[in-house]
Amino acid sequence: MTQSDFLSLLPVLIIAAAPIILMIIISVVRNYEFVYSFSLFTLLSSFASIFYVYPLTPHAIPPLFIIDVYSLIFLGIIILSALFVTLLSHDYIRQMDVAREEYYIILFTSTLGASLLAMANHFILFFLGIELLSVSLYVLVAFQKSSGRSVEAAVKYLILASVSSAFLLFGMALMYFSYGTMEFNSLASHISKSSTSPALLYTGFGMMLTGIGFKLALVPFHMWTPDVYQGAPAPVTSYIATVSKGSVMAVLIRFFFNISGFGNDYFFYVISAIAILSMFTGNLLALRQGNIKRLLAYSSIANMGYLIIILLIGNKSGVQAAVFYLVSYFITTISAFGIISLLSTSKTEMEMISEYRGLFWKRPGLAIVFTLSLLSLAGIPLTAGFVAKFYLIFEGMKAGLMVLVISMIINSVIGLYYYLRVITSLFSDPADVKLPALSLTGNITLASLAAGILLLGVYPGWFINILVSLL
Amino acid sequence: MILIYLILILLAGAFLSWIAGTKNSVWPRIIALVAVSTDLAISLATLATNAGNTDRWISDIKLDWIPQFGISLHLAVDGLSLLMLLLSFFLGIVAVLISWKEINVRVGFFHFNLLLILAGIVGVFLALDLFLFYFFWELMLVPMYFLIGIWGHENRTAASYKFFLYTQAGGLLMFIAIIALFFIHGDITGNYTFDYMQLLGTSIPGPTAYLLMLGFLAAFLVKLPVVPLHNWLPDAHTEAPTAGSLILAALLLKTGAYGLLRFVIPLFPHASIAFAPIGMTLGVIGILYGAKLAFAQTDLKRLVAYTSVSHMGFVILGVFTFNELAYQGVVMQMIAHGISTGALFIIVGQLSERIHTRDLDRMGGLWNKVPVLGAMGLVFSMASLGLPGLANFIAEVLILAGTFSTKVLFAFLAGLGLIAATIYSLRIVQKVFFGRMDNDYDIHDLNVREKVVSALMVIVIAGLGIFPRPVFNTAEPALLKILNSQRTMLIDYPVTSNYNAPATVNLWDAEAMENNKKQI
């Protein structure tokens, strides 16, 4: 590896170094606040280094890595999300009676896995990243080890994730068997030249889609989602909902574009079916949920269903729409889970909708942020979610995907019903629930997330400009 | 810039009254009153300084918003939207005044929502960019939902859901149609834009245009509402607090009618002619069915709500008649219905504030106890049944006259609606204020504030009934532009064989068409 190879990997290297340094520090002295501040600092410097790496793009480190603008954008999104999750974890994790400092170490290893996915150009790195991410998540989900539900969720996640990894691996093997390469960017030419029957390609891709679909919680691979969302500590749930899904989406888009999957009828129908099923299943199952974490789990299934439409759009502006959608979805989701995290203690998760009754009359600020993020999830104007959905519908209609667009519209109306249920309870007569005091950091973090939702909702032009000029 | 200020004043007022509401409950009301009055003054000044102005737009402003998608902040006002603005601000003031005693919890947040709804409505009346229009269209929903859901009556939650889901579903269909229109226009001209003025005159293939128009109609006919889609209205109106019912009936329904006039007719001239028989049928059904249901109610507020369905039937009937006479009637009906039905809702509110029931069977003989309130009830019931001398009469007669010139049958059936209106209106007066008094309510008549509000509304409804000319003069240029732009389209792109051209097209002889073209 040359010096410029190392330089272009700088953001990832910083994240990779952090857990090692932290482990050494913890073995000498345990100080929660220090570990927390160190993590923030490291994530910030890793984010800053992205701007340093940007002039070096595009840079490939064959055969594994590709560092282009696309990977840097996703890297930025992943690191920023991890940063916000860290900020919102602070109070929650501090109250735990377990080894609290290790939480941040594992957060770093999973972020490392996610970052690798954003740069992957090769099956090996793809698999390595996804496993690094998953294995760390097993631990994070079970972090509240005195809680039975947390452990149950972790075991469920462990077993299902392993099975899905096996599928993914088998799919990769089949692809390699038929085309003799594991690099994304040379797969395409091999596929077009190859004389082997497309059955192998279809089987291979189908199996990979099973593995990926599991990570993204697409129907019919979504069964784990509500249980894991509910069982995991709230900050970890927000991490699963954002970083984990975003990074897998990054690699899926790159892979799918490299093999030009959108031109293929077979892929078209499979992905359309998955998208439509995910939208309807997610939204319909969310209708009767009384548990807000499960509700958001189902809503995330529906949202991923909307998002994979862009695989069928298959052009640059589609990717821009996807990035915009992911960013707005991440801000929204992190702020929704952030409120749950800040109101929960490690002993009792504040997760029933009934417990949020009348929040507006007790904590108007919190309730407004919560309302904003729910409205954004529902896609109501003034919020980022509206522009994101508009962008997606816009690109979908441009590509002529009317069936998908119409089912997205129908689902927006269904989805509205359960978001409204939560909003209604926020504004009804107060429930008799004691709420913990909020830290200053928590307040500032939530306020900035809410500002982000509004900014992208009211004046999205500048951000779209950035995306258009970069991608 | 003045148009942006109109919206900004309301927004600023909204936030200020929310903040003030945390301290006490009088300041939010004053702030809201000042904000809406300022806007009323500004629009009255605009009206006064632009009398006789025949430009396309009295005032017009266009700024970039999201240029990547061809979306701009394009606001403009013509006679039609100016009249709607005046109505909105007038009733906005009334809404603040009538809530003075009725709303005493969470006052700041109430006025925040009230002003936000007004801002949305004003935006809808001003927007000339279709994306912006949709933006404001949705912006009205959330605060209205809160208004019903927080300050409403017993079944408020269900009613607020129903309201939100119906209107949102309709709105999203319109949104798809808007985006489709954007692409169709862009593919033809190479200029991808949401701007109304540029989208006008897009030649869309027949069946596609019809589909797109249905998308727009989905939003407007739900809002109006038209009979099979009216289900949300009685619940929302009945459960909302008085100010909410007032805004819903008097203003929100008007956005649907406005949308038909401003967007559906000029953007889809052929398709709207093809739809006209269906539209007029729906209108007549609405008139008769709404009146029948109104007559059958025992809840006074629900009764008034159903009269809206009936009165809005006249609007859709008039819109699809495509002549100036009927269009003047439609505009007048929008104003007259806004004031008369609004006033009826206020009377219901004042009654149930005093006797704590809306059940007609528990009322009767109240005239002796509350003569002033009774007189108001009589005046606005008469307005509702179309008594000559009041604005509703002019509106309905114009619509009927306009319809009669083209479709005699529809005019005849709609005319029956007037008889039905007489029956249900007289029933209100009879059941509430006359008849035998079974209950011994200890109640007081209207106080000064309530008298002022009622007097204002009587003055307006009677004034417009006797001197309707200013409304006609203000609306005329705008209505002629709408009709002319439709006719021009019909000449430039003659009806294709996809349609069986309805008789309405033959009304214009070649000479008149040429004249119209020259004017434009």
Contact residues on chain A for B139, CB-CB shorter than 8 A: 381-382
Task: Quote the minimal CA–CA distance from B397 to chain A in Å.
Answer: 40
CA A286/CA A300 separation, integer angstroms: 10
| C-beta atoms of B142 and A461 within 8 A | no
Residue A460 sits at the chain B interface (C-beta within 8 Å): yes
How many angstroms separate the CA atoms of A431 and A1, rounded?
61
pTM: 0.90
Would you call A464 an interface residue with chain B, using a CB distance cutoff of 8 Å? yes
Element (H, E) at B116: helix B107-126
What lies within 8 Å, CB to CB, of A255 at 6+ separation is A126, A184, A208
Report the C-alpha gap between A468 and A443 in whole angstroms: 33
Residue of A380, A398, A409 lying closest to B176 (CB–CB): A409
Tokens found for residue A21: 């340094």
Q: Which of B135, B145, B180 sits opposite A381 (nearest CB)?
A: B135
Closest residue, chain B, to A391 (C-alpha) = B69
Q: Say whether residue A462 is in contact with chain B using an 8 A CB cutoff.
A: no
Distance in Å, alpha carbon of B64 to nearest chain A alpha carbon: 9
Q: In this complex, do B68 and A461 lie within 8 Å of one another by their Cβ atoms?
A: yes
Closest partner residue to A416 among B67, B146, B165, by Cβ? B165
How far apart, in whole angstroms, are the C-alpha atoms of residue B185 and residue B195? Answer: 11
Give the closest-approach CA distance of B312 to chain A in angstroms.
26
Chain B contact present for A420, CB below 8 A: yes
Cβ atoms of B58 and B73 within 8 Å: the answer is no
The shortest CB-CB distance from A405 to any of B160, B165, B176 is to: B176
Q: What whole-number distance in Å separates Cα of residue B20 and Cα of residue B16?
A: 6
Instruction: Quote the pLDDT of residue A134.
Output: 93
Q: Is the pLDDT of residue B500 over 80?
A: no
Chain A residue numbers touching B160 (CB-CB < 8 A): 420, 424
Residue of B nearest to A462 (CA): B66
Which of B176, B192, B211 has the highest number of chain A CBs within 10 A, making it the mutation to test binding with A? B176
Nearest CB neighbour to A465, from listed B68, B135, B179: B68
Rounded-to-integer distance, Cα A214 and Cα A219, Å:
8
Look at residue B499 and tell me whether its pLDDT is greater than 70.
no
- What are the residue ranges spanned by the domains of chain A? 3-470
DSSP SS3 for B65: strand
Alpha carbon distance A151, A147 (integer Å): 7
- Residue B310 near residue B421, CB atoms below 8 Å: yes
Taking only the tens of pLDDT, chain A with its 471 residues reads 788 888 889 999 999 999 999 999 999 998 999 999 999 999 999 999 999 999 888 888 888 899 999 999 999 999 999 999 999 999 888 888 778 889 999 999 999 999 999 999 999 999 999 999 999 999 999 988 888 888 999 999 999 999 999 999 999 999 888 888 888 888 878 877 776 667 888 888 899 999 999 999 998 899 999 999 999 999 999 999 999 999 999 999 998 888 877 777 888 899 999 999 999 999 999 998 899 999 999 999 999 999 999 999 888 888 999 999 999 999 999 999 999 999 987 777 888 998 899 898 888 889 999 999 999 999 998 899 999 999 999 999 988 888 999 999 999 989 998 999 999 899 888 878 788 888 888 899 999 999 999 999 998 989 999 998 888
* Mean pLDDT score of chain B: 87
Calculate how close chain A gets to B228, using CA atoms only, in Å.
19
CB of A398 less than 8 A from some CB of B: yes
Q: Which one of A376, A398, A462 makes the best mutation probe of the B interface by having the most chain B beta carbons within 10 Å?
A: A398
Angle between helices B141-151 and A402-427 (to 10 degrees): 40
H/E stretch holding B59 reads: strand B59-66
Mutual angle of helices B2-21 and B27-49, in 10-degree steps: 170
pLDDT of residue B60: 87
Inter-chain contact B65–A382, Cβ cutoff 8 Å? no
Of the candidates B410, B407, B408, B411, the one whose C-alpha atom is nearest the C-alpha of residue B398 is B411
Q: Tell me the C-alpha distance between A199 and A201, whole Å.
A: 5
- pLDDT, one tens digit per residue, over B17-28 is 999 988 888 899
Contacts (Cβ under 8 Å, ≥6 apart) of A423: A371, A374, A375
* CA-based nearest distance A66→chain B, Å: 29
Q: What is the DSSP letter of B67?
A: G
Secondary structure string (H, E, C) spanning A44-102: HHHHHHHHHHHHHCCEEECCCEEECHHHHHHHHHHHHHHHHHHHHHHHHHHCCCCCCCH
Compute the CA torsion angle A293, A298, A303, A305 (nearest 10 deg).
150
- Single out the residue of B9, B20, B274 nearest to residue B118, CA to CA: B9
Q: What's the gap in Å between the CA of B221 and the closest CA on chain A?
A: 18
Q: Give residue ranges of B with CB < 8 Å to any A CB.
A: 64-69, 106, 134-135, 138-139, 141-142, 145-146, 149-150, 157, 160-161, 164-165, 168-169, 172-173, 175-176, 179-180, 183
Residue showing tokens 């594991």: A182
DSSP 8-state code for residue A347 = S
Distance linking the first and last C-alpha atoms of chain B: 27
Neighbours of A432 (CB within 10 A): 7
pLDDT-derived band at B501 (thresholds 50, 70, 90) equals: very low
Classified as helix, coil or strand, A433 is coil
**Whole-number pLDDT of residue B494:** 60
- Report which secondary-structure segment, H or E, holds A156: helix A148-179
pLDDT at B111: 93
User: How far apart are alpha carbons A19 and A269 in whole angstroms?
Assistant: 43
pLDDT at B75 over 90: yes
Give me the residue from B65, B150, B179 closest to A397, CB to CB: B179
Which residues partner with B301 through β-bridges? none
pLDDT of residue A41: 95
Q: How far is A427 from chain B (nearest CA, A)?
A: 7
pLDDT of amino acid B509: 39
User: A393: distance to nearest CA of chain B, Å?
Assistant: 8
Q: Which residues of B touch A459 (CB under 8 A)?
A: 65
C-alpha–C-alpha distance, residues A339 and A333, integer Å: 10
For A311, residues 6+ apart whose C-beta sits below 8 A from its C-beta are: A252, A253, A256, A261, A262, A271
CA distances from B331 to A455, B88, B127, B472, B511 (A): 38, 14, 18, 8, 28
Of the candidates A381, A405, A461, the beta carbon closest to that of B67 is on A461
To the nearest whole Å, the CA of A425 is away from the closest chain B CA by 10
Query: Any idea of the CA torsion for A252, A254, A255, A260, to the nearest 10 degrees?
Result: 120
- Residue B508 pLDDT more than 60? no
Out of B69, B145, B172, name the one closest to residue A412 (CB): B172
Which pLDDT value is given to residue B241? 92
b/e map A32-64, b = 16+ CB within 10 Å? eeebbebbbebbeebbebbeebeeebebbbebb
Chain B: nearest CA to A386, how far in angstroms? 9
- The DSSP symbol for B359 reads B
Q: Where are the beta strands (DSSP E) in B108-185?
A: none
Q: What is the pLDDT of residue A259?
A: 82
Partnered with residue B75 across adjacent β-strands are B61, B127
Tell me the torsion sign for CA atoms B110, B116, B117, B118. Answer: positive
Confidence of residue B227 (pLDDT cuts 50, 70, 90): confident
Which whole number is the average pLDDT over B280-286? 94
Omega prior to A63 cis, within 30 of 0: yes
Q: Considering only CB atoms, which chain B residues are within 8 Å of A407?
A: none
**A414 at B interface, C-beta within 8 A:** no
Q: What is the pLDDT of residues B332-376, one digit of tens each?
A: 999 999 999 999 999 999 988 888 888 888 888 888 888 899 999
* A213 membership: H or E segment, kind and range: helix A198-216
What is the per-residue pLDDT for B502?
39
Closest CB from A393, A413, A464 relative to B165 = A413
**pLDDT over threshold 50, residue B503:** no
Nearest CA in chain B to A358: B150
Cβ neighbours of A462 in B, within 8 Å: none
A143: exposed, middle or buried (C-beta count within 10 Å: 0-12, 13-18, 19+)?
buried
Which member of A382, A397, A427 has the closest CB to residue B150?
Answer: A427
Contacting residues of B for A406, CB less than 8 Å apart: 176
